[in-house]
Structure 1
């Protein structure tokens, strides 16, 4: 039994079916979940025209043709098509094709291995799992407790990705991925964007230079980027009309909408955790097979376990968890391979988390930052590269600006992490991911010859700089 039919839940049932078990899934909203309708897919549909136009403006002979505004209504229409107009028939058909039973309604635990489903009509059914229950309910936006905020009806990621209009002025609170991506998208669509960040710079969980490049680009395009800025209250009379965002220190910012992108919280407050001795509303602690600590039947997969809050990492966890559930059903714990990089261990959650931020320029990273590696006790060296030294960068875009970093474990001479920022840089990430997860020796990477003249030559330049 799986509670939550987003990409994570769908991958769990797919893997347990492949392992020979029967499976059922419960969903209270749309099959396909947050990513398909209010996060990954619609946000990238909004961002793609912005990034394509920006790239085109850096190409000789083309830039003059793309200086007009984006057609916002056409962008929104394409976004609507990408999300299937918020209908999930195709997702349901896929689950039917792999013989997974779908239950519409609210699912909650009802004691060990039991799930109570309340249908939209109010009917209740208690289902029993033979082997395991997987909680894949994900997260929702976390709004801070600020005076006036509820009455101001702020946007969260859901409203930002599903809006059918461009506000004249958009205030974005938060410098993480959602804040940066939505600032990028709505600025390109014509909004005057003010980005407010409490604490340090943008993208704080990545290497600092990534956020610095993104902030500089947003500012150059006209955004007002303010770091070390804290919001004290929000005012919007009657919940309509302009919104005033009050800042600590007495300043204020006005906008037509305000987006709070200030974190996520687990969707576990009403899923029956108390019936199995767990605290409602909590993150669920798991081992590397994604089984909840202290349980032999309950799994928590994806964002809900707070290990790596990204769809692709959740789907990775789902593949591990589904295989582990099937293996335990056939042979118990002894049937599992839970060693480092084993078939039933989500090692990448610790050593090789991947992320691409679809800003302009793009930012991408895998594995450990330099600071994380040092805190973990590794003897490391960071090798840095100005991407302008790569021939392919100048061909990709005139005036190309970007930077790359490789973090090397000096004792083993393997790559622990890599980070990139620049136009088109996201496509470099998987080669870095292979190097990190494969723990490929630097000496062997020297024989991985990048094609000329591509952006991938960044790898050759990094290796040359390391060797000296």
Structure 2
């Protein structure tokens, strides 16, 4: 821990020490700039302790068992329940037992100064940190301040919600016991992943989805296949309904969720997976002419509009709310900060070294449900809305030889969106067991704008699930 005399001057000051802030500091240090990092909670941020790592640690045993149950000769050995205590202990290990010693050591190792406490802008290039003991440190940045504070879960202001003590994604990924009954409000990524986990661990899960289906930002068939599997796993999925009230009976009693159709659902816990808001409400944005609580609008180098020193990197800029995309932005922003500090011209053209082009054209995402759903780039609807002349090419993943070997009764689907004018891919979606590792090949095809004619020469190994690429290309060629 660094305790600096005041005022302390650094080339770059980073507010927020999640994966994004850590990577901004790392890129700054790699370029020879000094860096200070400010964090009010655990070094490592949301992803390490309440999102990516604990959620995927919870999901891995669930998906592994589901895969094993579809393999002849093995299925009979894995019909029993999961060892919930062991699953939760595995989760605890991957969340580092909510201790950040290793992450602090990493920042120390790259030579970044660490300040614990709440950081606020108190003027251009100035951050004041209030430590837990009330001590204040004033940090001044020679070149840049990077806001990497991420987002928080949004809980709707329904009657009774505050007293009901609902779960958000944090409680859902860190719970110490399996609830007997769980209501999940929301059908997005957090909702479907947590429904998958807790249903597999023994909860009676009810999902309340305001829209028509699950995973609304992906191709429609993705949500349909995931919903089908969740229903088979015992979840009760109710679409087209909204929660209107929440009431808990006593300190430890059940929760009753009122619905807009006049019905109600009772459970032991209720999870609201209903969106995210930026952590910018107490950041001192007003001292530099910005609106507190707002998303921060940036250019492709992650520089905040109408400034030449303030960067907003990761979820807080609302470009692509994914850890890997935030880390990508951090690499771009770190390089841009260093170039500007050194007076080097920036390469901000499409796919340039200082432009986060992938935020617009090639955002990859894997939903770690059973089946997995993975996508990169545009959906058919998005491509058509953007005015592209496109064709959607679909193929049944279950008919690929490698998929049949992977699992008996394999169910899945693949789609590629072809730009007919340029004959390159604008987007790809896979749904099926074990397809998450296929996604990077799709991402490479989209980012590289590889012509269909050249993709024809990328020969998939036989018999693997990746042979779906050949089948998609054959279908396109006719």
The answer to whether TM tops 0.5 is yes
Measure how far apart 1:237 and its partner are.
2.4
> What is the CA–CA distance in structure 2 between the aligned matches of 1:199 and 1:53, rounded to whole Å?
30
TM-score, normalising length: structure 2: 0.97
> What is the CA–CA distance in structure 2 between the aligned matches of 1:417 and 1:301, rounded to whole Å?
24
CA contact (8 A) 1:289 1:338 kept: yes
Gaps of 5+ in 2: 1-12
Q: Does residue 235 in structure 1 map to residue 247 in structure 2?
A: yes
1:50-61 → structure 2 map (5 Å cutoff)? 50-61=62-73
CA contact (8 A) 2:241 2:261 kept: no
Measure how far apart 1:249 and its partner are.
1.6
Q: Does residue 339 in structure 1 map to residue 354 in structure 2?
A: no
> What is the CA–CA distance in structure 1 between the aligned matches of 2:43 and 2:428, rounded to whole Å?
35
Q: Alignment partner for residue 408 of structure 2, among 388, 393, 398?
A: 398
CA contact (8 A) 2:207 2:235 kept: yes
Q: Alignment partner for residue 202 of structure 2, among 178, 183, 190?
A: 190
Runs of 4+ residues over 2 Å off in structure 1? 237-240
Q: Does residue 361 in structure 1 map to residue 371 in structure 2?
A: yes
Q: Does residue 63 in structure 1 map to residue 75 in structure 2?
A: yes
Q: Does residue 150 in structure 1 map to residue 162 in structure 2?
A: yes
CA RMSD of aligned residues (A): 0.6
> What is the CA–CA distance in structure 2 between the aligned matches of 1:398 and 1:238, rounded to whole Å?
48
SS at match of 1:110: strand
> What is the CA–CA distance in structure 2 between the aligned matches of 1:239 and 1:364, rounded to whole Å?
40
Q: Does residue 427 in structure 1 map to residue 437 in structure 2?
A: yes
Task: Report what 2:297 is aligned to.
Answer: 285
Gaps of 5+ in 1: none
TM-score, normalising length: structure 1: 0.99
Measure how far apart 1:149 and its partner are.
0.7
SS at match of 1:129: strand
Q: Does residue 113 in structure 1 map to residue 140 in structure 2?
A: no
Out of 231-240 and 179-188, give the one that drifted further: 231-240
SS at match of 1:249: coil
Q: Alignment partner for residue 418 of structure 2, among 408, 414, 417?
A: 408
User: C-alpha offsets along residues 17-47 of structure 1, whole Å, 9 cap, x if unaligned?
Assistant: 1111111100000000000000000000100
Q: Alignment partner for residue 42 of structure 2, among 17, 30, 34?
A: 30
User: C-alpha offsets along residues 191-249 of structure 1, whole Å, 9 cap, x if unaligned?
Assistant: 01001100121000111100000000000111101111111111112342111111012
> What is the CA–CA distance in structure 2 between the aligned matches of 1:82 and 1:308, rounded to whole Å?
24
Q: Does residue 137 in structure 1 map to residue 149 in structure 2?
A: yes
Measure how far apart 1:265 and its partner are.
0.3
Task: Report what 2:111 is aligned to.
Answer: 99
Task: Report what 2:286 is aligned to.
Answer: 274
> What is the CA–CA distance in structure 1 between the aligned matches of 2:453 and 2:28, rounded to whole Å?
39
> What is the CA–CA distance in structure 2 between the aligned matches of 1:47 and 1:27, rounded to whole Å?
28
> What is the CA–CA distance in structure 1 between the aligned matches of 2:189 and 2:338, rounded to whole Å?
35
SS at match of 2:158: coil
CA contact (8 A) 2:169 2:273 kept: yes
Q: Does residue 376 in structure 1 map to residue 423 in structure 2?
A: no
